[in-house]
Amino acid sequence: MACGLQIKDEESSYNKNLFCIPKHYEEDLERVFIPHGLVLDRNGECLARDIIQDMGSHHIVALRVLKGGYKFFADLLDHIKVLNQNSDKSVPITVDFVRIKSYCSDSPTEKINIIGEELSTLNGKNVLVVEDIIETGRTMRALLSKLKDYKPKMVKVLSLLIKRTHQSSGYKPGYTDKFVVGYALDYNEYFRDLNHICILKEKAKEKYKI
Ligand code: HPA
Ligand code: MG
């Protein structure tokens, strides 16, 4: 599994006053967790290169899990395309989407429905599943198990963030137990219009409650 930026406990977040934050969110955010520039740099310099190295010998299908993470997905794909098109051994890269509906979510083996996509196109391809945030890992496990039915050549998962949570299924240790927003990560659809990944204040959860 390819991983995102690894933030250690001793590496603290940043004072939000150092950054350009939209006025309408100033009061809602505690700190800047990962500045926009840092995400872009890691996407381009590190992740995209790793992906091309690991998967670039064969047709890649980038599979976006809806509806989160469109910024991460789009930026990452831009970087992958640049590396791929400048390579002597470039391969086709296509894009697909899955929307997942989970049920029995408190059982350790989650059941999911994949909604509205014809995934037989994954047969024989190198599939890169892109998520914005993995929390317990149960949905991802269930998705990976379903994808096997379509007989892809290879499946890799890439997540921008992996949460540290007591509910984790043990799928992968995490980096944060805070609720984070920005870079298209939302809280009830708000904060997608914030560039930096920021830590949401507890009281803002009340404000944007639905
Ligand atoms: N931010 C945004 N979406 C989420 C989070 C988070 O911290 N955790 C689970 N979904
Ligand atoms: Mg969300």
For residue 143, the domain's CATH number is 3.40.50.2020
Q: Give Cα separations from 117 to 98, 154, 172 (angstroms).
A: 6, 19, 27
Contact 197 CB / ligand 1 (< 6 Å): no
Say if 188 falls within a structural domain. Answer: yes
5 inside domain: no
Q: 197: closest CA among 77, 46, 76, 71?
A: 71
Is the distance from the beta carbon of residue 132 to the nearest atom of ligand 1 less than 6 Å? no
- Residue 202, sorted as left (phi over 0), alpha (psi -120 to 50) or beta, turns out to be alpha
What confidence tens digit (pLDDT) does each residue in 56-109 have?
999 999 999 987 778 999 999 999 999 999 988 899 999 999 988 776 545 666
Residue 80 near ligand 1, beta carbon < 6 Å: no
Strand boundaries in the chain, DSSP class E:
2-3, 29-34, 60-66, 93-103, 111-115, 126-134, 154-162, 180-181, 197-200
Q: Which atom of ligand 1 is nearest to the CA of 185?
A: 2
Asked if residue 183 belongs to a domain, the reply is yes
Please classify residue 107 by burial: count the beta carbons closer than 10 Å to its beta carbon, then call 0-12 exposed, 13-18 middle and 19+ buried. Answer: exposed
- Pocket residue to mutate for ligand 1, from 102, 162, 180, 190, most atoms within 8 A of Cβ: 180
12 within a domain of the structure (yes/no): no
Close Cβ partners of 147 (under 8 Å, ≥ 6 residues apart): 119, 122, 127, 129, 155
Domain span at residue 143? 28-207
Backbone angles phi and psi of 178, in degrees to 5: -85, 160
- As for the ipTM of the complex, it is 0.95
Number of domains into which the chain is organized:
1
The single-letter code of the amino acid at 27 is E
* 15 located within any domain: no
Q: Is residue 19 part of a domain?
A: no
Would you say residue 82 lies in a domain? yes
Amino acid at site 137: G
pLDDT in tens, 9-54: 556 799 999 999 999 999 999 999 999 999 888 876 689 999 999 9
Nearest ligand to the CA atom of 179: 1
Residues 43-65: tens digit of each pLDDT: 766 899 999 999 999 999 999 99
Q: How confident is the model at residue 165 (pLDDT cuts 50, 70, 90)?
A: low
Q: Which residues of 120-153 are buried (b: 16+ CB within 10 A; e: fewer)?
A: eebeebbbbbbbbbbbbbbbbbbbeeebeebebe
Pairwise CA distance, residues 78 & 48, whole Å: 9
DSSP string over 120-146: GGGTTSEEEEEEEEESSSHHHHHHHHH
* Residue 195 belongs to a domain: yes
Is residue 177 predicted with pLDDT exceeding 50?
A: yes
